[in-house]
Structure 1
Amino acid sequence: MVTQDLTGPPVEPRDAATVVLVRDGAAGLEAFLLRRVAGMAFAGGMTVFPGGGVDRRDADTSVAWSGPPPSWWAARFGCSVELATALVCAAVRETFEESGVLLAGPSSSSVVADTAAYASARAALVARELSLAQFLASERLVLRADLLRPWANWLTPVEEPRRYDTYFFVAVLPEGQSADGVTTEASDAAWQRPAEAMADWKDGRRALMPPTWVTLAELDELGSVSAVLDAPRTVSKVIPKLVREGSVFRVVVP
């Protein structure tokens, strides 16, 4: 684990959004997981949910929007309306980039059933050649903020040289769509029951960061999509601590 020189101030965290995609499988609730490519600067080799850093263009207020307004999200996440706008847009954009799942539709009450037609736009979003607002406008699509639920807020420990203030959302896989995990940032992707993913972690087959295994444990306890959507959530910022034990650092979750 790489830590920074604590004689200086902590690194300023970057805002980020993560989306926990869920569905009801044959054997129970499943979550979509990506294994990040080993050697990446942040969380290399770790199994994570789709997500990433906020792009400055994610705050574009021209995006066609359906569902709870940015002010509602700002109240739930305890942040500014501008940041709330950017977080919801980043959540939709990153989910589409990393899984091919698009939380948008031709109208405020519909959702895209097949995203294959938007493959070139997906690549342009990844390359930052296109913003989410530009993509949605060109395809006459509406962002479906009502398909997202606020879940959690995790801030990387102050000792880390790369820090993210990550806001977690939950979304159900839209009917007709599939998650493919076609992204250069992941070596593999799969739907998995939370209990199985945690068992893989305990047996050394997966590496999980605290926000991921805590979220998986919560999902496992709930057990179904309906229970997840109905679960009351109060979001507060969680900041794990790094504790040195000899030559080893241990993560402590409050």
Structure 2
Amino acid sequence: MNPDQQGDNAYISKSELRTSSRAVRPRDAATLIIVRRDGAQPRVLMGKRAATHKFMPNKFVFPGGKVDRADARIRPPLDLHPEVLRRLSAGCSESRARALALAAIRETYEEAGLIIGERGSATIRSRSPQWADFLKHGINPRLDGLHLIARAITPPYRNRRFDARFFMVDAEHIQGDIHDRPEGSGELLDLHWIELAEAKFIEQLPHITRTVLNALEQRLQAGAGFATPGPFVYQRYGKSVVGDI
């Protein structure tokens, strides 16, 4: 999802480059940045994508993935903050906006084994195998603590493209123990908490991830709220554009 074509070409494999003349339509995706504040410095959860991945192999990223059809069918008791829902709904329906947020929570559970949710209401039911596995713990996903901090669309020259929304949530919303090295599906290797100041200097870091980390650092330092905009990174006529979301 790197918006900087010149900088990115040096780091992507040939399989990631588009071979046809028509740009691939980006698919909706969501990422969740979990912030721990129980130490001297804020820490975030990151892991390394395996070398066998066709999209961003060997890169350090946050948990996340594409939106699943079942994500739009979940109705959590605790909804998105009104300002987050308003900003997230720009260009899509409110139902799709909630599906994006739920995808971020589901993918985090699958990839890191961490449950972002609450126990204070009757457990939702779902026929989706992924959501059924999440809900078997008797915990509902909760959206009210999610901040929308960035959006990025993969450049047209990439073989796989995503329209990704980056959410942030405080680790206090995790149900259960918070391990130093969480275990999930194994899709993300070397999954661990890393200080925000150090994360920006990881060598195998996509440019867009570094951009989001910089935006996250600014938000935390300013004590930004749900209505605070974040960067929207995309390409227009071959040039990188950074707007607001």
Give deviations 1:203-227, integer Å, cap 9, x for gaps. xxx3111221012223334556xx5
Q: 1:105 to 1:75 in 2, by over 3 A?
A: same
Match of 2:44?
31
Give deviations 1:135-175, integer Å, cap 9, x for gaps. 56655433211121111111000110000010110011136
Q: 1:35 to 1:89 in 2, by over 3 A?
A: same
Q: Secondary structure at the match of 1:87?
A: helix
Write the distance in 2 (CA, Å) between the matches of 1:37 and 1:30: 22
Q: Tell me, yes or no, if the aligned pair for 2:46 and 2:193 is still in contact at 8 Å.
A: yes
What amino acid sits opposite 1:31 in the alignment? V
Q: Kindly, what percent of the aligned residue pairs are identical?
A: 29
Q: Tell me, yes or no, if the aligned pair for 1:181 and 1:188 is still in contact at 8 Å.
A: no
- Offset of residue 83 of structure 1: 1.2
1:91 and 2:98 aligned = no
Structure 2, unaligned runs of 5 or more: 1-11
Write the distance in 1 (CA, Å) between the matches of 2:237 and 2:188: 26
Match of 2:67?
54
Give deviations 1:182-215, integer Å, cap 9, x for gaps. 3321221111112212233xxxxx3111221012
Match of 2:171?
173
Match of 1:130?
129
- Offset of residue 234 of structure 1: 1.8
Match of 2:26?
13
Match of 1:66?
78
Q: Secondary structure at the match of 2:129?
A: coil
- Offset of residue 236 of structure 1: 6.0
Q: 1:97 to 1:107 in 2, by over 3 A?
A: same
Q: Tell me, yes or no, if the aligned pair for 1:36 and 1:43 is still in contact at 8 Å.
A: yes
- Offset of residue 241 of structure 1: 7.2
Q: Tell me, yes or no, if the aligned pair for 1:148 and 1:171 is still in contact at 8 Å.
A: yes
Match of 1:216?
213
The two structures, once aligned, show a CA RMSD in angstroms of 3.0
Q: Tell me, yes or no, if the aligned pair for 2:83 and 2:227 is still in contact at 8 Å.
A: no
Match of 1:187?
189
Give deviations 1:3-36, integer Å, cap 9, x for gaps. 21463x2101111110011111433111111111
Match of 1:80?
93
Write the distance in 2 (CA, Å) between the matches of 1:83 and 1:23: 28
Q: Secondary structure at the match of 1:239?
A: strand
- Offset of residue 242 of structure 1: 10
